[in-house]
Amino acid sequence: MENFELVILLLDATLRTSTPLILAALAGMFSERSGTINLALEGMMLGGAFSAAAVAFYMDDPWIGLLAAIATTIGLSLLHGFACITHKGNQVVSGMAINILMSGLTALVGIALFAQGGKTPALDKAARFQPITLPGAEAVKDVPIIGPIYFELLSGHNILVYIAFLAVPAAWWVMYRTRFGLRLRAVGENPGAVDTAGIGVVAMRYRAVICSGVLVGMSGAYLSTAQGASFLQDMTAGKGYIALAAMVFGKWRPFPALAACLLFGFLDAAATRLQGVVLPVIGEVPVQLVQALPYVLTVILLAGFIGRAIPPKALGRPYVKER
């Protein structure tokens, strides 16, 4: 029974650590399905996390902080779109420029506003998203097997965790069951044919990057106002790139990307649980090795060692209308 409880706690931590990856991976999927490479997920998450923490601190309301994060990331998405869609700039360079910009700008503004070395003051309880206890969780928590699963694993998460997991089937429905999703995928595969049909390629790509901005803003807000209690300099720690790897591993589809995010989240959660643990033959697991596992897996996935991912045909190609 003790081992069962440890497994439940590990899975519970997996859900929490995978939440920002899921939201960011879905954000990347919307952008890249339309043909716009979005390497700026890391910088956008940073911008969203800082805006959410700063505004939540001043307003004492996490929802206003969330709206500020979304507004920030939509702005950054539109900046990326202006460079890549309107002016047909290099999409990789634009994404990396936003990452570098936000890494420095969040620290600079943080020092100017709060004088705490680039971080924001700790948020009190009212300014953070709090855990939600699902109906009946208290009543069944002592029931063997069912109790721990419902009380520990399914209940007790904040609202953004539930939104992230509900966003996966919602994104699938939008992508594969709506006219908008059909047009978005067509723009990413054959923008010339879409333009011939009278659908604006530029407008569709801008809509896609706005959707991307909304989702990645929620991801950033989760880091600083739900999972954490303040903004720390470079607190994303590569999560934007990991989300990008999960999206590629999932072949730009919501549910496979979810599975990849859960895998990364599991490794992140295991890194905490395995610190100092002595395993047979191996002995004590080095902390550095466990912490490096998500990043090693990212390199493996992006290098194409686990299956070949075929991107949308027009991905990274600026659309030039034929005259």
Is residue 282 very low, low, confident or very high in pLDDT (cuts 50, 70, 90)?
low
> Which sign does the torsion angle of CA 189, 193, 194, 195 carry?
positive
Q: What is the pLDDT of residue 2?
A: 63
285 within a domain of the structure (yes/no):
yes
Residue 169 has pLDDT above 60, yes or no: yes
Cβ neighbours for 218, distance < 8 A, ≥ 6 positions apart:
23, 48, 66, 69, 70, 160, 163, 164
Q: What is the pLDDT of residue 110?
A: 92
Tens digits of residue pLDDT in 185-224: 999 999 988 888 888 999 999 999 999 999 999 999 999 9
322 within a domain of the structure (yes/no):
no
The CATH number for 163's domain is: 1.10.3470
39 within a domain of the structure (yes/no):
yes
pTM comes to 0.92
Q: What is the pLDDT of residue 144?
A: 81
Distance CA 49, CA 55 (A): 10
Q: Looking at the 3D structure of the chain, how many domains does it have?
A: 1
21 within a domain of the structure (yes/no):
yes
Least confident of 3-7, 101-105, 271-275: 271-275
315 within a domain of the structure (yes/no):
no
Q: Map residue 104 onto helix, strand or coil.
A: helix
Which residue segment(s) compose the domain that 61 sits in?
Answer: 2-128+137-305
Residue 139 has pLDDT above 70, yes or no: yes
Is residue 102 very low, low, confident or very high in pLDDT (cuts 50, 70, 90)?
very high
| CA atoms within 13 A of residue 231's CA, in its CB half-sphere | 34
Residue 1 has pLDDT above 60, yes or no: no
286 within a domain of the structure (yes/no):
yes
313 within a domain of the structure (yes/no):
no
311 within a domain of the structure (yes/no):
no
Instruction: Over range 72-95, report the average pLDDT.
Output: 94
* Average pLDDT of the chain to the nearest whole number: 88
Distance CA 151, CA 147 (A): 6
